[in-house]
Amino acid sequence: MRLLAALGVIGMLLLFVWERVDIVRVGYRIEQLKVQKIELQREQDGLRVKVSALTAPDRIAKAATEKLGMIPPQPGQVVMVNAADSGPVASDRSSAVHVAKNERFWRKP
């Protein structure tokens, strides 16, 4: 009986010690993950800045005109076809279809 009680006490002590050690271990792991999260957040922020800079309108326009030889559509080359009425609310939505002259995409062979 005494032996069992002693073993029980020792078991409880071991459980207590294990719990304390585990808390510290989990604490270190949490900190490690937090550092990892911060690093990933920094990387994501860096990529967002990069994407935003790369999509700047002046850069796109420069690449389109100088690298790809594109030119802005001249007046009359783009006409708008509204699906609904042309009231201010309706035209505010993207209901308008951009139709470029000489484009054949709406004609099936």
Partner 1 sequence: MIGMDSCRGRRIALAILLLAGFTAVLGRLVHLQVLQAAELSVKADRQHQKAVTVEGNRGSIYDRRGKVLAMNMEVPSVFGVPASLDNPSGVARDLARVLHVRADEIEKKLRQERSFVWIARKVDPEQGRRLERLSLDGIGTVMEGRRFYPKGPLLSHVLGFAGMDGQGLEGIERRYDPYLRGEKRQIVLQRDAFGRTVFPKGLTEQGPSAGHSVLLTIDEVIQYIAEKELDDAVSATRAKGGVVIVMEPKTGAVLAMAMTPRFDPNSVRGLSADRWRNRVVTDAFEPGSTMKIFLAAAALDERAMKPDSMIYAENGKMVVAGTVIHDHEKAKWITFAQAIQRSSNVAAAKTAMVLGEDRLFRYLKAFGFGERTEIDLPGEAAGLVKEPHEWGRRTLASIAMGQEIGVTALQLATAVSAVANGGWLMRPYVVSEVRDGHGQLVAQVAPQVRRRPIAAETAQVLGTMLEGVVTVGTGSKAAVAGYRVAGKTGTAQKIDPETGAYSSALSVASFVGYVPADDPRLTIVAIIDEPQGEAWGGTVAAPVFRRVAEQALPYLGVSSQEPMKLALAERAGIGMVP
| Footprint on this chain of partner 1 (rule: CB under 8 A) | 24, 26-28, 30-31, 38, 42, 45-46, 48-50, 52-53, 55-58, 61, 72-73, 75-76, 78-82, 86, 88, 91-96, 98-99, 101-104
Residue closer to partner 1 by CB (options 11, 37) is 37
How far is Cα 15 from Cα 84, in angstroms, rounded to an integer?
73
How far is Cα 78 from Cα 101, in angstroms, rounded to an integer?
6
Residue closer to partner 1 by CB (options 12, 50) is 50
How far is Cα 80 from Cα 71, in angstroms, rounded to an integer?
19
How far is Cα 31 from Cα 103, in angstroms, rounded to an integer?
58
CB of 101 to partner 1, least distance (A): 5
CB of 17 to partner 1, least distance (A): 17
Task: Give, as one character, the DSSP assignment of residue 70.
Answer: -
Residue closer to partner 1 by CB (options 15, 38) is 38
How far is Cα 53 from Cα 45, in angstroms, rounded to an integer?
12
